[in-house]
Every structure is written in C-alpha cells, then in structure tokens.
Amino acid sequence: MRKGFAVLSLICAVLWMAPAIAAQETAAGHSETAVQQGQDAAQGPHGDAAESHGHGVNGSQLPLWSVIPFAGILLSIALFPLFGARFWHRHYPKVSLAWALLFALPFLAVYKGAALYDILHIYIIDYIPFIILLAGLFTVAGGIRVKGTLKGSPAVNSIIFILGTILASWIGTTGAAMVLIRPVIRSNSWRRYKVHTIIFFIFLVCNIGGALTPLGDPPLFLGFLHHVPFFWTLKLIPMMAFVSGLVLAIYYVLDSYYYKKEDLSKIDSSEKEPLKIEGLHNFLFLGGIVGAVLFSGLVKIGQVNIFGIHQGIENLLKDAVIILMAVLSMMFTKKELREANEFSWEPIKEVAYLFAGIFMTIIPALSILKAGESGSLAFLIRSAKSPSHYFWLTGSLSSFLDNAPTYLTYFNTALGRFFPGQPESAAVAQLISSTPVPGLEGLTYADYLMAISAGAVFMGANTYIGNAPNFMVKSIAEESGIAMPSFFGYMFKYSIPILVVIFIIMTLVFF
C-alpha cells in the first residue's frame, strides 16, 4: 500500500511539475496589477484588509489538474479507512503531509515568492484561526456535561436535535455540536442502531441550524463583513424550517423503525436521575468565544505584518481571547468531569492534522475560483443565471471546498452581474433588497443572495468535509466506539438519498 501511494505521488508530481515549469514564463509576464485582480476576485473571511496586500499567484495561471493533490487527500480520507484501516489510523498525519508536500514543493519551485505568499496567507489568515476556534470550542464544550436519564428514544433524540438546530445559529454550528454531541452519544449508548442518529445530528446541528445569523456559519459571517446586515439572514427562516422539518420528520420515522428493533430490556428501569448540567461556568467561556468572534467582525483596529501577510489586530485579539477561554476552562473544570465526559484530545488532533493538508492542497482550487471567468472553472461562473443555479453551484462546491470563499465567489459574481462598477456597500444594499430584477419576472435581487446563503450553509452537510464540525463529530463518535460510515458511505447511504432529494424539492418550492 505504501509503494502504491509513493507511485501515485510520483505520477502526480510529474503531472504538476512539467506543465507548471512550461508556464513559468507566462506567469512571470503577468503584471502585479493582474495578480492583484486575481486576488481581489474573492476574499477570505477576514475581509478586505487581509487581501488588499496580496501578491500571490493569479488563479488564471493555474490549470484545473493542479487540484490533483487536493483530490488525492480527499480520496485518501475516503478510501484508506476502508481498505487500509490500520495503516490509516497509524499514519494519517504522514499521508496528509505527503499530499501537502506533493503540492507545495513544485508550487514553490515554479512560482517562488508568489507561492510562498499564498501558502503563508492561507495558514496565517485561515488555518491557524480555524484551528484555534475549533480547539477552543472543543475544549470548553468538553467541560460541559449533561447528566440525567436520557434513554435515546426517538422523541428524546428529536428534542435534542431541535434544541441544537436552534442553538447553532447563535453559538455557531461548531459550538452547538460540541455541547450536544456527547449527551446524544451517551443517551444512545445502550442502542444497537445509532449510527443514523449521529448522521442526522450532523445534518441538523452541524449545518442546517447555522443558517439564521452570521454567528451560525462562516459564510454568513463573511457576508456580514461585506455589508450584509446582521439580522438579514433571518429571511432564511422559511427555507430552514422547511428543510429541517423534512429532515427531522424523516429521522423520527427512521429512528422509530430502528427503536422497535432494539432490545428494550437494556434500558435501566431503576429510579430516574433528574437532568442536571455540570460545568455551567463553561457557558461563560463559550459566551466569551462567541463575543470574541462577533467583536472581530464589528471592530477594526488596524493591521500587523506577519511574514508579509497583513492580519487585522482585532483578529489576533479574537484568537487570544479564544485561547484564554480554553485555558480558563481547563483550569476551572474538574478533571473528573472531563473524564466522565470521555474527553480526549484525539478528535481535535485528527482534525488539525488532516485539515493542515487540506488547507495546503486547496490553494489552487480556491485561486482558480477567485480568478472568476479568467480561471479554469470559468464555465461554473458563467453558468450561474437563476437563483436555483446559484443555490446548486454554491452548495455543490461548498460540499467539498471551503464554503466561505465559495460563498464569496458567487456573492461577488451576483454583484458583478447586477451592479457592475458600483461601490460594494451600495451594491450590497441593493442585493439584499426586495426590488424586482428587470427582465426576470417574479424574482428579486434578494432571491439570489438567499440562494447563495442557503447553498453554502445547507449543502455543507453533503460530505464529512463540507463543514468543520462534521468531521469533528465523526471523530468523537468513533472515539466512543461508534462505527461511522466511510466518506462515500456517508454520501451514498445518507446525504444523497436524503439531503439531495430534499434540496431538489426545496428548489422547486423556493427557487
């Protein structure tokens, strides 16, 4: 298996290096202005400041097959656990590193300083804050324990799902997922059939529930940074209620079917223990994290230069507060409580290692998207015409790529289509309005932004990597002994026959 991976890596390296070297002269010929235009086509979740000093590789220079290492790491996540589980669990950090180097070394050799800028940029602006936020929420939520008699019935599980779906828009999908996944696992520990419960938890709490505020999911926070009012996303309530209602109804029917097949004698019939939440002080730390994230979006202090990357001081303060909240949680939460919660660092370590490779190899995919109609994916940009197109294109890409830049790509595509040349603030004010679109009967500008927002948030549930908490919940479940489906098993058994069908129905109803 190791030899096969080495051969595949060599083939990918040759494919990448040969044409890239041939294109070097063309790359050198592009002016700094062209490079800047490529960078400005779409911006990361930290707004204009983070990108305005960009001197990275213009995505229009990159061929589509430059995403081979990204495809490789996704296939590794999908296939190695199936065909080489022992090797994968022992060596997945090395596999992630191998794919990252397979892309990074040729990329640096060909594009030199511009490539180094892109690599430093994605780690300083995106990956490090991403891991800090996940680790902070993981640590704080690990100190909250729900005790009491919760026996994992369809009704009890559905109530937890409803609660989590509501919470997700206010403390983030990651925050809600980390607070509630352990109670769900514990209450269903006696059951034989419980994998589907974790899957539907990912659908609802880790994704769909985050659609109502910018605190819920990164794409919406990104829209907030680009002049979309904080409460504008409440317009998605009908769509969220429709989708979550269908998903919850399917879950209740499915879980009721499996519940009848369970050995109910395993339920402890002794005196019921009242519900109790231990580690309540951690909700203060959780509030501190949410407040820090909101602060970073509302307040602009200035910038600092980190290895040539301009990072907002408010973002550094946010990261510092999140780390402080995690440290305080560790200091003031009893070790026994975390042990009772079956808390371990393995899930966050797995996410950190794998996403380190994903963030490296995703660089060409995001750069090509940022290049818009000048890039290799121009056909995807040009094909967006109706709100349904925006919904499916944004959602499909968000299922496999980072949904924040995908959201912004089509956000900018809509602005460029309807309001070319206008200042962003003025253009967004029109995009969020209910003004009818000239020549498109029955459609308003807001329909387009709602489609982009819904696609980015809802379709993150289509794969394990569509949204960060998906993979973390999978890791926590597996750490608890639940045999979760493979990457493709998740898609073909659950997300495609359930979610994709619901999204088709949703398209017919709303778009």
Chain centre to alpha carbon of residue 98: 23
d(CA 257, CA 198): 16
d(CA 122, CA 133): 15
Q: Which of 61, 262, 50 has the alpha carbon at shortest distance from 157?
A: 262
- Domain membership flag for residue 88: no
* pTM, entire model: 0.80
* Average pLDDT of the chain, as a whole number: 84
pLDDT of residue 265: 72
- Supply angle C-alpha 50, 55, 61, rounded to 5: 120
For 10-24, 104-118, 326-340, which range has the lowest pLDDT when averaged over its residues? 10-24
DSSP codes of every residue in 251-310: HHHHHHHHHHTS-GGGS--SPPPPPEEE-TTHHHHHHHHHHHHHHHHH----EEEETTEE
- Is residue 334 classed exposed, middle or buried when 0-12, 13-18 and 19+ CB atoms within 10 A define those classes? exposed
- Domain membership flag for residue 345: no
Domain that holds residue 317: 145-340
Type of residue numbered 450: M
Does pLDDT of 27 surpass 60? Answer: no
For 33-42, 256-265, 278-287, 413-422, which range has the lowest pLDDT when averaged over its residues? 33-42
- Encode burial over 442-471: b for 16+ CB neighbours within 10 A, e otherwise: eebbbbbbbbbbbbbbbbbbbbbbbbbbbb
d(CA 209, CA 457): 9
Type of residue numbered 327: V
Instruction: Reduce the DSSP state of residue 145 to 3 states and report it.
Output: strand
d(CA 129, CA 316): 9
Cβ neighbours of residue 367 under 8 Å, at least 6 residues apart? 38, 56, 57, 58, 59, 62, 118, 375
d(CA 209, CA 204): 6
Type of residue numbered 69: P
pLDDT tens profile 306-330: 998 888 899 999 999 999 999 999 9
For 69-78, 270-279, 342-351, 374-383, which range has the lowest pLDDT when averaged over its residues? 270-279
145-147 vs 276-278, strand pairing mode: antiparallel
Q: Which of 359, 357, 353 has the alpha carbon at shortest distance from 472?
A: 353
DSSP codes of every residue in 97-108: HHHHHHHHHHHH
Dihedral sign computed on CA atoms, order 411, 412, 416, 421: positive
Rg (CA), the chain: 23
Q: Are 119 and 57 in contact (CB under 8 A)?
A: no
Identify the residue with better confidence: 82 or 164: 164
d(CA 117, CA 436): 42
Does pLDDT of 411 surpass 90? Answer: no
Q: Which of 473, 459, 165, 143 has the alpha carbon at shortest distance from 289?
A: 143
d(CA 123, CA 309): 10
Task: Please list the residues that pair with 436 across neighbouring strands.
Answer: 444
Q: How many domains does the chain have?
A: 1
Phi, psi at 234, each rounded to 5°: -65, -15
Whole-number Cα distances in Å, 270 to 183, 277, 326, 362: 20, 21, 37, 53
For residue 187, how many other CB atoms are within 10 A of its CB? 21
How many CA atoms are closer than 13 Å to the CA of 45, on its beta-carbon side? 26
Does pLDDT of 45 surpass 70? Answer: no
- Domain membership flag for residue 302: yes
- Domain membership flag for residue 79: no
Q: Which of 352, 380, 453 has the alpha carbon at shortest distance from 128?
A: 352
- Domain membership flag for residue 18: no
- Domain membership flag for residue 173: yes
d(CA 247, CA 240): 10
* Mean local confidence (pLDDT), 388-393: 94
- Domain membership flag for residue 17: no
Does pLDDT of 289 surpass 80? Answer: yes
How many CA atoms are closer than 13 Å to the CA of 128, on its beta-carbon side? 15
d(CA 457, CA 474): 19
Identify the residue with better confidence: 505 or 8: 505
d(CA 129, CA 131): 6
Q: Are 141 and 338 in contact (CB under 8 A)?
A: no
Task: Please list the residues that pair with 303 across neighbouring strands.
Answer: 312
Q: Which of 396, 510, 390, 507 has the alpha carbon at shortest distance from 461?
A: 396
What percent of the chain shows pLDDT beyond 70?
87
pLDDT tens profile 463-495: 998 888 898 899 899 988 999 999 899 999 999
Does pLDDT of 369 surpass 80? Answer: no
* Mean local confidence (pLDDT), 230-251: 95
- Domain membership flag for residue 303: yes
Identify the residue with better confidence: 377 or 267: 377
Type of residue numbered 463: T
pLDDT tens profile 179-218: 899 889 988 988 899 999 999 999 999 999 999 999 888 8
How many CA atoms are closer than 13 Å to the CA of 186, on its beta-carbon side? 16
pLDDT of residue 270: 58
* Mean local confidence (pLDDT), 417-439: 87
* Structure token digits, residue 353: 């290692």
Q: Which residue has the tokens 């083939």?
A: 11
Phi, psi at 277, each rounded to 5°: -110, 120
